[in-house]
Amino acid sequence: MANPERGIISRYDMKRGPVKVFYSLMVAVIAIMVFSMLYPLLVTFFNGLKPNEEVNSFPPRLLPSVWEWGNYQKGWTFINLPLFTRNTLLIFGGNLVMTVLVLGLAAFSLSRLAVPWRRAVLAFFLSTLFIPPTTYLIPNFLNLKDLGLVNTFAAFWLPAAANAFYLLLLKSFFDEIHQEMFEAARIDGASEWRCFIGIAVPLSVPIFTTLSIFVFSTAWNDWFWPSLVMHSDKKYPLATAINRYVINARRLDTNVRFAILTMVMVPPMGVFLLFQKYIMRGLQLGGVKG
């Protein structure tokens, strides 16, 4: 009987020379990948603790000679981080609601309802994945301008309801839910809306959690589209404010600049570390049991 705890490479395999070489090479590649990912984060963090002269010195040093924690206090007061963070969270909340309601209902309809020309409709939506996003920036802006939604948060919420990739993920997840559950609910008199709210949504918590992390990452990191549709400083999301007032600032010390960037990096990293298990679970679309 096979040992369920046996890994890909056993102790017997490790006694063979080629396996040892391959294993060492694999560990070296992983170590290089980890270093390449952590090094920029560490440089940003430690540069935010250095004196400004030491940040620009050559040869560069990783650790500061003098730890100046006051740089983070200066960065916190340099721009209104709570205001821009609130704007980002408002964009994230609206985008998430549109994703759950509009894309969720659309995916449920294509998965469980007898929609006419269902395959053709799905193929049309999926074909938009091959269109470069830069090609429809101007049409989207003109449409929002005609609707009077420029300089409003609705300029982010409305396009969020037309994400074909999220639609594909939701439909694939709904396809794995057993049809018998919906048929039993319909026999009991449940409407299609009740089937969606009472059955599809509770069973789809992993995929909705995964999508919420994707939506949060997009809202937190996007700066170009907000710079086009937002014309008020008080409505900028955090990424746009960082680009305008920190990255392009001319009279800002480099160490304070790095301190601000470090504070901006921490929240998305924390969100990913807390919810990474939901990402893996949500991407395994065949894991739903009846």
pLDDT for 289 equals 42
| Residues 89/235, Cβ–Cβ less than 8 Å | no
CB contact set of 47 (below 8 Å; sequence gap of 6+): 55, 254, 255, 258
Amino acid type, 237? P
Burial zone of 85 (CB within 10 Å; 0-12 exposed, 13-18 middle, 19+ buried):
middle
CATH number of 78-283: 1.10.3720.10
pLDDT for 284 equals 56
Q: What is the pLDDT of residues 235-277, one digit of tens each?
A: 999 999 999 999 888 888 899 999 999 999 988 888 888 777 7
Global pTM value: 0.81
Q: What is the pLDDT of residues 126-146, one digit of tens each?
A: 888 888 888 888 888 999 999
**Sole residue written with tokens 């319909």:** 186
- Residue range(s) of every CATH 1.10.3720.10 domain in the chain: 78-283
Q: What is the pLDDT of residues 78-88, one digit of tens each?
A: 989 999 999 99
CB contact set of 175 (below 8 Å; sequence gap of 6+): 111
Give the other-Cβ count within 10 Å of 56's Cβ. Answer: 13
pLDDT for 13 equals 66
Helix and strand element counts for the chain (H, E): 17, 0
pLDDT for 26 equals 86
pLDDT for 173 equals 86
**Nearest one of 215, 96, 232, 95 to 152, comparing CA atoms:** 232
> What does R_g of the chain's alpha carbons equal in angstroms?
25
| pLDDT tens sequence for the chain (290 residues) | 445 455 566 666 666 777 778 888 888 999 999 999 999 999 999 999 999 888 888 888 888 888 989 999 999 989 899 999 999 999 999 999 999 999 999 999 888 888 888 888 888 888 888 888 888 888 889 999 999 999 999 999 998 888 888 998 888 888 888 888 888 888 888 888 888 888 888 888 888 888 888 899 899 999 999 999 998 888 999 999 999 999 888 888 899 999 999 999 988 888 888 777 766 665 554 444 44
E strand residue ranges, 210-271? none
**Helix, strand, coil % (nearest 5) of the chain?**
75, 0, 25
